[in-house]
Amino acid sequence: MSEFGAWTTVHGVPAFRYSAGPAVDDWDPVLDPPTGRRWVHLGNRRITLVADNEGRSGLWDEHTQLRWLTEPYPHGTGVSRIEGVVASDAPGAERLFGPTFARVRSQQGPVALERTVLCPEGEAPWVLIRVDVTNSGGAAPLRGRLTEEWEVRPHLMDITVGPRPEPVPVGDPPELLLERLGGERATGATGRLTVGAELDLAPGTTETFWFRCGLDDGSEPDPPRAYEDSLVALTNRLPTAHAPRAPQAAREIPWHTALLTGGACTDGVLGGHTLDQGSAYSYRHGFNGAARDPLQHALPLIYTEPDLALSVLRNTCAWASPDGELPYMLDGTKAARTDLFRPSDQNLWALWLAAEYAAATGDIAAFAEPVGFHPQYGAEPVPLAEHLRRQFRYFTDVVGTGAHGHVRIRNADWNDLVLDETGEDREAMIEHGESVLNSAMAAWVLPVYAGLARRIGDDATAAEAAAYGAVLRERVAGEWNGRWFRRGYGPATGPIGDDKLWLEVQPWAILCGAADERRAKELLGTIDELCRSASPLGARLLWPDPRGDRGAIWYAINMTLVWAAARIDPDYAWDEWRRMTLHAHTEAYPDVWEGTLSGPDSYLAPESARPGHTWTLPDLGIAMQAWPVANQHSHAQPLLGYLRLLGVEPDADGRLRVGAGADFASRQLTVRADGSGQLRAAGPVRVLTAPGVEVEGGGAGEVRWG
């Protein structure tokens, strides 16, 4: 059981009742002073609420910049007071974290105060605050003034490393609005905002007061209706799950979905929605990167909120240059940056997301709609299909292959530190190094993209992509060293990975077909022995493990292991998925906050000095441990892994495959344990069911099977 509290159900959705109190031991963010604050990120499709164990908040907005509207440092803000005596952040207050709301209850004598801060469903750039005041006394009326107070501490985050700098004025920070709905208003770009209301409560009565805080969008909400409608809509949009082999799925699947979608933000520069990786990358270091990450995070949303998945695809494609290069990141001002990394893998993620979206929705019309390029290029929009074709060309013609026929590694290939870890000369690797990892991934992605290209009438690209994928599959098959697949090639040393097992390439070798069933079983056994042994959170990335404070257990890689194992050994796959859960982290490390409600992109191995925590690179001035929650991989990868356990994936014929064995139900897709199900399609789809029966849907509507 967690030392911080326990799960419960509120308004029909999972919630966490925090009971540790604010006096719990401090933890070390490494780059910043130790703190007792613990927090979680909640949100809608525009604003992010950072709610903490002190009953306070921060507000983040990424519409035009990576910006704290009010930064929760060194403490959060937002508190309700009655004559300065009964406060929502009182030490003894009860605290509750819901999927899109945070609640505190405090009482002094006969006066009780309950305060709920809610991110309304949709794209409101403000939080709705409900304050219920109760006079539980026996005789005297309660009179006085209720105040709502917020400190405005704007901070533009833009490529920050090392110790946290003091915020400096950059441009004109937006004004925050604090309003008692139907009453007082206060606005300001900095400083304290206070509004209030007069109290006059007879004994035994309760009165509800409504406030909002955020950006003024000109709306005039009906607060009780907005509150109730949001809770109903939340319950209706979150998927349900039931898995006898993983009971925790019933709680974690809807929770992960809410926190994943809560990281989205409408993009006022590029259009659509960004789905930033978050965590230390954004909230502490000030960049949105890498481009591959929002594309990964959107994959499970295809099956819950496909409009958001498409919006993220369009937004991330709009990062690109007209020749199809996706920049590594956007900085805090949303400028595209290629100066730090030029990875070789990024186009593959866009092609994958597009192909899976088409297979699952049938929304072929979306690929004819125009999408812009990053404004810094001054290029005219082109159809989404043309964006994807140019990205395929960039991957094929510019990234290209090396002397051994594998995809060039450039200076990163998912693993941003791979050049340092190979021990090769860096510049030589950038020019001549090769990535078996990206060959294996491309050998799966390109045939699936070919299925999409055929459906949108680009037969030439489809044929080329399918053929290239087949060639790469054969080259990956040739990298078997007797126990595992090699990692790459260096210009000086030749094969990389004969003496080390690099996990990231292994699942892709299975998925792309480079490993037949016999070899796949042998490989899974080796991974179990060397990478998964005595690791409660899942397989380690590298064997022998290098120790130290670099991340060892990565959500993004272990999802592919779950997926690959599901084809060969379902029991193994379910076991690996269970190790990815919040439940597993809480059981192994009940006194570590990260992993309780949210997490980083990776965890340190059990043999490290700080097991259950995350990586630090203090010499470089960066550390995931500085903001070890709200990384979207900790939410997206368990979701996608669960769907893969149920056999849900696209194939090279443009179909959607579905299986059985557990239950999943959303407004978009239902898969039942017995293999039956249904899919809501926007256009023609073909579904290949577990018994091998193909079911076709001719257009928009519902497709059923089983």
Ordered by start, the domain boundaries in the chain are 7-237
What's the confidence (pLDDT) of residue 91? 78
User: Quick one: which of 298, 291, 343 has its CA closest to 320?
Assistant: 291
Using pLDDT thresholds of 50, 70 and 90, give the confidence band for residue 612.
very high
Instruction: Give me the mean pLDDT over the 557-579 stretch.
Output: 99
What's the confidence (pLDDT) of residue 551? 67
Residue written as tokens 């480079």? 514
What's the confidence (pLDDT) of residue 530? 97
What's the confidence (pLDDT) of residue 108? 87
Q: Tell me the per-residue pLDDT of 404-429, one tens digit each, with 9 for 90 and over.
A: 999 999 999 999 989 888 888 899 99
Task: Please provide the average confidence, as pLDDT, over all residues in the chain.
Answer: 96
Alpha-carbon distance of 77 to 88, in angstroms, equals 11
Which SS3 state, helix, strand or coil, does residue 223 take? helix
How many CA atoms does the CB half-sphere of 56 hold within 13 Å?
A: 24
What's the confidence (pLDDT) of residue 172? 84
The residue ranking higher by pLDDT, 289 or 546, is 289
What's the confidence (pLDDT) of residue 138? 75
Q: What per-residue string of b and e applies to 347-372 under the rule 16 or more CB within 10 Å gives b?
A: bbbbbbbbbbbbbbbbbbebbeeebb
- Residue 653 above 80 pLDDT? yes
- Residue 113 above 90 pLDDT? yes
Q: Tell me the per-residue pLDDT of 470-481, one tens digit each, with 9 for 90 and over.
A: 999 999 999 999
- Residue 402 above 90 pLDDT? yes
What's the confidence (pLDDT) of residue 699? 87
What's the confidence (pLDDT) of residue 23? 60
Q: Tell me the per-residue pLDDT of 182-219, one tens digit each, with 9 for 90 and over.
A: 999 999 999 999 999 999 999 999 999 999 999 999 99
What's the confidence (pLDDT) of residue 310? 99
The residue ranking higher by pLDDT, 45 or 163, is 45
Alpha-carbon distance of 433 to 439, in angstroms, equals 13
Using pLDDT thresholds of 50, 70 and 90, give the confidence band for residue 167.
confident
What's the confidence (pLDDT) of residue 188? 97
Q: Tell me the per-residue pLDDT of 322-358, one tens digit each, with 9 for 90 and over.
A: 999 999 999 999 999 999 999 999 999 999 999 999 9
Q: Tell me the per-residue pLDDT of 502-535, one tens digit each, with 9 for 90 and over.
A: 999 999 999 999 999 999 999 999 999 999 999 9
What's the confidence (pLDDT) of residue 517? 97
- Residue 86 above 90 pLDDT? no
User: Quick one: which of 675, 584, 665, 595 has its CA closest to 628?
Assistant: 595
Within 10 Å of residue 216's Cβ, how many Cβ atoms?
Answer: 15
What's the confidence (pLDDT) of residue 88? 82
CA-to-CA dists, residue 350 to 212, 321, 392, 552, 558, angstroms = 37, 14, 9, 26, 20
- Cβ(49)–Cβ(57) under 8 Å? yes
Name the amino acid, one letter, at 167: P
Instruction: Give me the mean pLDDT over the 630-643 stretch.
Output: 99
Instruction: Give me the mean pLDDT over the 251-263 stretch.
Output: 99
Q: Tell me the per-residue pLDDT of 27-84, one tens digit each, with 9 for 90 and over.
A: 999 999 999 999 999 999 999 999 999 999 999 999 999 999 999 999 999 999 998 7
7-237 CATH choice from 2.60.120, 2.70.98, 1.10.10, 3.30.160:
2.70.98
